Structure 1
Amino acid sequence: MPTARVVRPLLLGALLLPFATALAQAPIAKVQPVTDDYYGTAVTDPYRWMESGKDPDWMPWLQAQARHTQGVFAAMPGRASLLADVAARSGELTTVGQAEQAGGRVFHEIRAAGEQDTKLMVREADGRTRVLLDPTTLKNADGDQVIDRWAASPTGRHVLVALSKRGTEHSTLRVLEVDTGRFLPVAIPHAWMMSWTRHGEGFSYLKFVGEPGTPSYFVGNEARLHRLGTPTPDVLLATRGKGGISAKAEQFVPVIFDPDSPTALAVVRDGRNEIAIYRADADRAMTGQATWTPVAGFEDVVVDTALDGDRLYLISKKQASGGQILQTSATAPDLKTARVVALPGTPVIESILAVQGGLLVRTIDGPASGLWRVGADGKATKLALPFDGQVTSLQGWAPSSEVLVAMTGWFTPSTIYRLDLRDGQLKDLALVPPLPFDTAGYEARRSQVAVRDGTQVPYTLVMKKGATLDADTPVLLEAYGSYGYAALPRFNARVLAFLDRGGVYALANVRGGGEFGRDWHYAGKAATKATTWRDAIDVAEQLMRDKVGSSKTMTLIGTSAGGVMLGGAINERPALFAGAIANVGFMNPVRYVSEQNYADIEEWGGPITDAASFKTMFDLDPYQHIRAGTAYPPTLVVSGLNDPRAATFHSAKYAARLAAAQDGKVPVLLRLDFGAGHGMGSSRSQLDEVWTDIYAFTLAQAGRTDFRTASAK
């Protein structure tokens, strides 16, 4: 693309007074250039000092940025009204999260209407429901405690709970006794990826031994076993280089048990969807003396597994982009002779669950999920779902005739159904009250565009019914396109306030995601990553040709790994968008060596070990391709100080360099939440505030100077 300076009119002075008057007050970051030599290529980094988190200017600069940005938003006409609408929508809604059934009980997460955080609940067999754990009652000098994840034991007598300081995800494992609601005297800090043993007498977990918040945190992680009620030290289950296990120090090696199988699996994971798998006798594995037999390597492109007695099922994408299901023996596995379990057509297979008499298979059917039951005879039957939407999870045990199915849609919040395998019927468990407001006045329109290489890329527009779409319509366009993640319909009560003000939310299913299988993912991964942001650009241009917004009204947003998409798009086409939002973004990939999430890098072409891997990662690095003198769109950069997934320095360095490239002539707002992380564990009010600012920013860039009312224009 041309590198000449792009000239664009500075509209914000006329359109939004708070932005214009605050420009001169924006704090400027000091510059201390560091130059690295990557296999003969010199790369200069002006803000390397931000990475350690220990520079004396770091916290004062962040605090000044936060005050500045907060002041800009506080001065916006109508921001308070918009927040009130967002908070009303989220506040009156009771939401349900993860759900599991075990021992005749249903365990589930609930955030009740008006409350800030999630509680863990249990519904007894007789229908009585009670609070099992309210993390707000826990007293901890480390700060607010939140539930990161949990797992009920196969008997339903205990629940393993991972708790952490809000936003950090540095979990401590605790065990709840369900009958009494009391914690057992177990507290294992810095642990994750837990699995109950067959009979619930103990659990496996990964113990992280490095320093939290540093690249060493995950390195050398250990798979251990804890037995309930025993004073003996926890057993080391799988050791790299011993017992047949081959894995790098930075890879995860959790050990998984299944209540209906005598086989244990050791699964080697890193930043890839693909996994390597080993098996061992479960009882032997619990002694720490197992010999692990290889089942599948990364070259077999296996992405999911399920156990049912001596049957081991795997999803492999080696021979089929959408995946195929393989069945082999769990005690003597052999992929070369594995039976192929076929589904009609060529659907994209997302996950499998072993159930009574066969499998449940979750697929992607265009813009929504599909659900199939495969019998022991291999016959596949598609099950009728309550609505077109996304099946977010399946949970059950192979001997049981019932499975929990979680679903959501554009206008349907997460709902937990019980699937009766005897008749194929799904019944709403009614874990939450009915939706307290009407969503009948909104709609989602699905379409697609032929991008520059002729590929058809789908997108969805979410809006008010009857809305008049034109070049003046505020559009918030989102794309992700990483890790093979399929962006399917998901309910968001907060966005309704944006739609009520005439906004349109657009979601582009760009390459790099998994909507159409492995090939779709690999077409926007590592060396092909530019495809991801170019697909987003082409979708934006098509929307503008269709008079759905324009370069004066469309804001592009990228969240987390979507930050690479966002940064690449505005580096390549800075004049195309009215605004840009980097939301907890991964903005400086070549500096992955400075953050905790060190292992999660293969998606981007790393680790950097030679000139080729450096070039792959450098070419997709948004921070390193910011060009001085370029008029980038006004940009909102969102981050949390506790973020363990995309370290705060990504956002801070990106905001500083983007502002410097424009000499402060165009707003770059760094929005910091000092009590949040990557979004996980944030309170309802924290999420209300950040999404209000995202919607307010989008409306402002579209020229809406006052959005106190819900009028469309």
Structure 2
Amino acid sequence: MTVCLGHHRARGQRPNANLDPGLQGVVRSQNKMECGVDGVWLVGRWARALLGLLGLGMVVHTAGAMPQGAASWGAVAETHFGVRVVDPYRGLERWQAPGVRDWLAQQNRASEAQLMAWPGQAEVLRQLELQDADLASRVTDVRRLPGGQRLFMRRQAGEDQFKLLVQDPGDAPPRVLVDPVALARRSGRPHAINYFSASWDGRWLAYGLSQDGSEDASLHLMELTSGKRVGTPIDRAELGGVSFSADGQYLAVLRLQATGPKTRPQDRYLNAAVWLLKPGAPLSTARKIFGRGLAGLTLQPEDVPEVEFSHDGRWAIATVYTGTQQDVGLWLAPADGVLQGHPQWQQVAQAADQVVGSVYGHGRLYLRSRQQAPRYQVLALDLRSGRVPPLAEAQLILPPSEQVVMGMTVAADGLYIESREGSVKRLYRRAHADQASVQPVALPVQGSFALSSDIALASVGHPELPGLVLDLQGWLALRQIYELNADGSARNTGWQPTGPMAALPEAETTEVLVPSHDGELVPLSIIHRKGLVLDGSHPTVLWAYGSYGETEEPQLGAFSAAWLRAGGVYAVAHVRGGGAKGDAWYGAGRRAHKPNTWLDTLACARYLQQQGWTSPTKLGLWGASAGGIAVGRAMTEQPELFAAVVLSSAALDMVSAEREPFGPTNVPEFGSVRHKAEFRDLLAMSTYHHIRDGVNYPAVLLTHGLNDPRVALWNSTKTAARLQAASRSGKPVLLLVDAQTGHGLGHTRSQQMRVTAAMLGFFRWQLGLTGPLAPQGG
């Protein structure tokens, strides 16, 4: 499940494919969760890590009580359009301040103590280790190259981080190209590979490395054959957006603007630009090829451009992302002119044209469009003559229908299209011939998959190779990697090892439609043991997200696998604001319509109780990142429906969101406090401002990474302090902050293990789930 707040939709960004729902911190093409734990807190690690960073002593603090000095945490009152808004814990935003550091250390120690006071917490970690050890290795992001090589990411059992490897033609074992574990040993700080991309000719490899979960990646280059590093790292390259010219002589890279001591946090992602240089050349030789200030280009500060060179050497294609807005701008220029220093950019589409994505192959630019197509359609511009035709001349490839067009990718044998019909995924192919029609492609097994237009992602084609590498997974089965041939035949490659715990044959899925407050039917996926008696006794965790038009795809994650094995019920609410039913469904949970997101969540919670799946004392609610809006507001609206709530790196103070680094990029999604109507929308969706004194709130666990660049830490710290002061239920309000993690991208296995164990233990404790998380004797 992607759970991302605020990244632009750059196709060069590689999702961290190994996190459970709520831990995913990367913009998602689609998330590819792994069964087996890639994340949880070891007891005592939180406080030790934070204290080690801050150099603090410990003071035991009772979570749930008013923190010492909370009344003087720098309360601020602001007036927006005649409405007085009080922020009682504004001072907690300064986490470096000595008093705040002491408070954070106290919160970590107290929260760990309460979790460990529950007798089953140590066993949770042991059973998660068993589940993780079930697979010999985890393999993601497989990429085929025309020379016969295969690039992929792999983490073997017991290793702490994914490495980047290449399998050369023949029988020789794969070679390790980039090893973040070795880098961590030398530096004492966890490293992660944010993204990688090979040149079209297979000579060069570009990859982004970051530390401590910060996502602040520098771009590195190496010769793929020799493994030799080339040149010096290029900083400010965290967004990916890397592309090589067809002959491998040039590299285009997206860079953020330079910042200084006086740069505001919210200005970090403004004025990004694309630069061109030769591989290995000094950065001083780079020249800007797309960005503000170049003649003929009209761009806004929040626009983030990305330039890709086509595989045939003919075109440079610029995609302009305006914050999190799904409609993009498209520009084309002959590649030779761009490389020679005199680009001739022509705009093909602007945001008003409602093009949401593109992919090029074999002389055609294919477009995914929502214009007069609420479930999207596919168009094509013919560029074979060298002329750039207007958008009005685009050919209709796949007309609008009841199916939601989700993605597309190009291979040598045609354009592949991914669509969704209810909860079922469909795959189609259209050959490159002029009069070809769109034909269905039979999947080797029914399952969920995602296609991307970027060869840097997992389920993709290559314009010079036939067929696809296709990831398939489901609610009850671990992801497997298939090779789909041009003739429609397919095979399981075996690249992803399996094990006894890679599937849940004892479980099944029930898909229902739940009437919401206005009669709209909300899809709800309920995963549970077979033969379950609906008597209201079953501990149940309900997940909700509902932002950016992202769809919650079926997948067997570490959390859900362990929860289901122990006898719990796991439910996913496909609420408005997501993409389950297309563009209209997304728009119905955005900005002024955002209340539908948490009202849909509440409708699903009530349905689970009314139908006997669970009861208020057995129902837990979980949300992460922008899903904090759906979950946090559901909790503040009807706290009596829930026994426990987990908020992972959650967006909770929406009135202050524009002061965060990703704040300006999120304005298209949520709105701005500078406009009256949008301010009121933001206030309505802000959990922090709807916490009321004297209410019996459920037990709450908030988790956050200190280095989170997407959702500021103070969303969790201020909300925790407010809940601790306001709640009268006597139930715990726990806060765990990890000093060496961020929003999710690059978390190590041990870091992910800690967060999964904390959440599982918390829910088991509060909801009364007692069954084993892994098969005994495993």
Which category of TM-score, normalised to the shorter sequence, fits these structures? over 0.9
Matches within 5 A, 1:139-538: 141=187, 143-191=189-237, 192=239, 193-211=241-259, 214-231=265-282, 233-269=285-321, 270-330=323-383, 331-342=387-398, 345-375=401-431, 376=433, 377-393=435-451, 394-421=459-486, 423-437=487-501, 439-538=504-603
Q: Deviations over 1:191-248 (max 9, x none)?
A: 0322222222232121112449922221222211231143461121112253332222
Q: Does 1:47 align with 2:112?
A: no
Q: Which residue of 2 aligns with 1:101?
A: 144
Which amino acid is 1:132 matched to? Answer: L
Note if contact 2:697-2:728 (Cα within 8 Å) is conserved in structure 1: no
C-alpha root-mean-square deviation of aligned residues, in Å? 2.3
Q: Which residue of 2 aligns with 1:135?
A: 180
Distance 1:294 1:125, change over 3 A: same
Partner Cα distance (2:412, 2:373) in 1? 27
Q: Deviations over 1:44-83 (max 9, x none)?
A: 1111222243322222211211111111111211111121
Q: Does 1:92 align with 2:134?
A: yes
Residue 650 of structure 2: which of 575, 585, 589 is its match? 585
Partner Cα distance (1:664, 1:371) in 2? 50
Q: Deviations over 1:290-345 (max 9, x none)?
A: 23211111112211101124311101101111111111134413111211112584
Q: Deviations over 1:535-556 (max 9, x none)?
A: 1100111110111111111011
SS in 1 for 2:231: coil
Q: Which residue of 2 aligns with 1:15?
A: none
SS in 1 for 2:641: coil
Shift of 1:25: 6.7
Partner Cα distance (1:694, 1:441) in 2? 23
Partner Cα distance (2:266, 2:405) in 1? 34
Partner Cα distance (1:308, 1:498) in 2? 44
Matches within 5 A, 1:3-22: 22=62
Q: Deviations over 1:563-599 (max 9, x none)?
A: 0001110111111111111111011122123221133
SS in 2 for 1:373: strand
SS in 2 for 1:169: coil
Distance 1:432 1:420, change over 3 A: same
SS in 2 for 1:156: coil
Partner Cα distance (1:34, 1:301) in 2? 41
Note if contact 2:194-2:215 (Cα within 8 Å) is conserved in structure 1: yes
Note if contact 1:560-1:646 (Cα within 8 Å) is conserved in structure 2: yes
Shift of 1:137: 1.3
Deviates more, 1:206-215 or 1:501-510: 206-215
**Bigger RCO of structures 1 and 2 (CA < 8 A, at least 6 apart):** 2
Deviates more, 1:642-651 or 1:135-144: 135-144
Distance 1:497 1:399, change over 3 A: closer
Distance 1:268 1:185, change over 3 A: same
Partner Cα distance (1:428, 1:186) in 2? 40
Distance 1:709 1:115, change over 3 A: closer
Shift of 1:145: 1.3
Q: Deviations over 1:100-152 (max 9, x none)?
A: 11131110111112211101111122243222221111266482211111112
Which amino acid is 1:133 matched to? Answer: V
Q: Which residue of 2 aligns with 1:680?
A: 745
Note if contact 2:139-2:495 (Cα within 8 Å) is conserved in structure 1: yes
Partner Cα distance (2:746, 2:318) in 1? 29
Shift of 1:711: 11
How many pairs align? 690
Partner Cα distance (1:57, 1:288) in 2? 54
Equivalent pairs: percent with the same residue?
31
Distance 1:490 1:260, change over 3 A: farther
Partner Cα distance (2:326, 2:633) in 1? 23
Partner Cα distance (1:141, 1:353) in 2? 39
Which amino acid is 1:167 matched to? Answer: G
Distance 1:383 1:26, change over 3 A: farther
Note if contact 1:91-1:115 (Cα within 8 Å) is conserved in structure 2: no
TM-score between both structures, scaled by the size of structure 2: 0.85
Which amino acid is 2:309 matched to? Answer: F
Distance 1:145 1:294, change over 3 A: same
Q: Which residue of 1 aligns with 2:25?
A: none
Partner Cα distance (2:775, 2:164) in 1? 39
Which amino acid is 2:702 matched to? Answer: V
Matches within 5 A, 1:696-711: 696-704=761-769
Partner Cα distance (2:540, 2:281) in 1? 58
Note if contact 2:412-2:465 (Cα within 8 Å) is conserved in structure 1: yes
Partner Cα distance (1:199, 1:469) in 2? 63
Q: Which residue of 1 aligns with 2:20?
A: none
Q: Which residue of 1 aligns with 2:116?
A: 74
Partner Cα distance (2:365, 2:775) in 1? 57
Deviates more, 1:325-334 or 1:531-540: 325-334
TM-score between both structures, scaled by the size of structure 1: 0.92
Distance 1:334 1:233, change over 3 A: same
